[in-house]
Homo-oligomer: A and B are copies of this chain.
Amino acid sequence: MNPTTQQNAFASRVDQVPQSFIREILKVASDPRITSFAGGLPNPALFPVAELAECAAHVFNEYGPKALQYAESEGLYSLRLSIANRYKQLYNLDILAEQVLITNGSQQALDLICKLFLNPGDKVLVERPAYLGALQCFAMFEAELREITLEEDGINTDELAGVLRTDHVKLLYGVPNFQNPTGISYSDQKRQKVAEILKAYQTVFVEDDPYGELSFNEEKRMPVYSYLPGQTILLGSFSKIIAPGLRLGWMIASPEIIKKATILKQASDLHSGNLTQFILNEFLNRYNLDTHISCIRATYKRQRDTMLECLHHHFPFAVSYTRPQGGMFCWLRLPEGLSARVFLDLALKEQILFVPGDAFYAHNPDKQTLRLNFSNVEEPKMVIALEKLGKVIAAQHVDSINVTT
C-alpha cells in the first residue's frame, strides 16, 4: 500500500537519475575544518551584498505589492531586455527581449529544453567529460547519451560528424567557455566547425554559458549561437556573475521556441521568483555590471594562478592538469594505479575535499580524473591543502610503482 515500498509505482525515469555526489559532498563541505575544492561555488566574498540589500529596500518601497504578486511566466520584461542588450554590448548580437525566457538558473533551462525536445530514448550528445547537472537532467528524461571527446580546444569534430552521419540526434549539449568540469574552452575554429557540422542536420546545439564572462584575459570568443542562431539555444546565468541564491538564469532562442518553452514553464512552476527578478533588475539599472565582473575576474585569476603554481610545485610530474583561462575549475588526471576515489579517501584524512571525476562521465568513467574548484577556497588554505595533497599523491605514486615493479 505504501508507495515507498511499491517500487513499481514509480516512473521508469526515477532509477535513471544519479544522485549528485557533489551535492552530497556539499553537506560535508560546510564543516569549517575542511578545505573544500569540491562544489562549484562562486566566491561568496564577491557577492554584492550591500548593493543587493539597497536594491531590495528600494524594490519593497517602490514596487512592494507588485514584486510580491504572481507574474508573467516569461519573466520581468525589463530584465529580459537587459539580458538581450548585454549580448549587443558584448558580442554585437541582435537579440529581442521576446527571445529571452527567465529561468531558475540555467539548470531549469535544461529541464525545459528536455521537456521541449526529448521523448524517451532520443539521442543526446554530451562532452566527455560533461557537466553533471546536465547528465542528471538528460537521464531524468531518459535520453540515450553519447559522448564526444573533449580535447584541449573543444570537442572532437570528426567524432561529432561521424555520429551525426549515422544517427538521428536531437541535441548536442556543450559548455564552450571554461567548461565544468575541465576548464577547457572551444577555439574559434572549433566553434565554427561545430556550427557548420550541425547545420547539415536537425540537431539543436544547447550552448550552456554560465562562465563566459569569467575570462582571465581580454580575448573574447563569439558564442556558437552567433554562427548558428536558428539552431542554437543559448543559456546564461546570474549565479556566477551576481549570486546563485537568487536562482535566476535565462534561455535564448527563437521567439517560437521561447513561446513553447514558456507554456512548459507555466506547467512546471508558473514563473521564476518575482521579488528576486525585481531586485536583480534594480541592480542592473543601478550598478555597472562590468565593474563588478572585472573584480570577480581579477580575484578568480589570482586564485587560479595560486592553484596552478601549487600544482606545479607540489604535485608529481605524472599528474596532468588543465590550465583554464577563465571560470572556476581545474581538471586533473592522476598517475595510473591511483584512482580518484582512493585519493579522496586519503585526502579526507587530511580534511581536504574534492570531486572525483567519474561522476562527470555518461559512460565508462575515467577513474583517474578529478575536479578542483579554485573560486571558493581562500588562497592561504589552498596553498596548505595542495601541498598536503601533493605529498599524498607522491607517497601513493611511489607505493604503486613499488607494487607494480
The interface of chain A, by Cβ under 8 A from chain B, is 1-4, 6, 9-14, 17, 19-20, 23, 26-27, 39-42, 44-45, 47, 49-50, 52-53, 56-57, 60-61, 64-73, 103-105, 107-108, 111, 115-120, 122, 133, 136-137, 139-140, 170, 199, 202, 204, 230-231, 239, 243-247, 254, 256-257, 260, 263-264, 266-276
Closest chain B residue to A18, Cβ basis: B263
Q: Nearest Cβ distance between residue A259 and chain B, in whole angstroms?
A: 9
Closest chain B residue to A258, Cβ basis: B4
From B44, B199, B267, contact of A133 by CB (8 A): B267
Indicate how many identical chains form the complex: 2
CB contact under 8 A between A246 and B68, given known A17-B267, A107-B270, A267-B140: yes
Contact B3 A204 (CB under 8 A): yes
List 11 extra interface pairs beyond A11-B116, A11-B118, A27-B72, CB under 8 A. Answer: A3-B202, A3-B230, A9-B204, A11-B122, A14-B116, A44-B69, A49-B60, A56-B60, A105-B270, A136-B266, A140-B264
Contact B70 A267 (CB under 8 A): no
CB contact under 8 A between A245 and B73, given known A231-B3, A267-B17: no
Q: Nearest Cβ distance between residue A12 and chain B, in whole angstroms?
A: 6
Closest chain B residue to A139, Cβ basis: B267
**Interfacial chain B residues near A246, Cβ < 8 Å:** 68, 273-275
Contact B41 A69 (CB under 8 A): yes
Contact A9 B70 (CB under 8 A): no
**Interfacial chain B residues near A116, Cβ < 8 Å:** 10-11, 14
From B6, B14, B69, B108, contact of A269 by CB (8 A): B108
CA distance A265 to B355 in the complex (A): 21
CB contact under 8 A between A67 and B245, given known A61-B53, A73-B23: yes
What are the 8 tightest A-B residue pairs by CB atom distance, in nearest-first order?
A245-B274, A53-B60, A49-B64, A44-B65, A68-B243, A4-B256, A68-B245, A136-B267
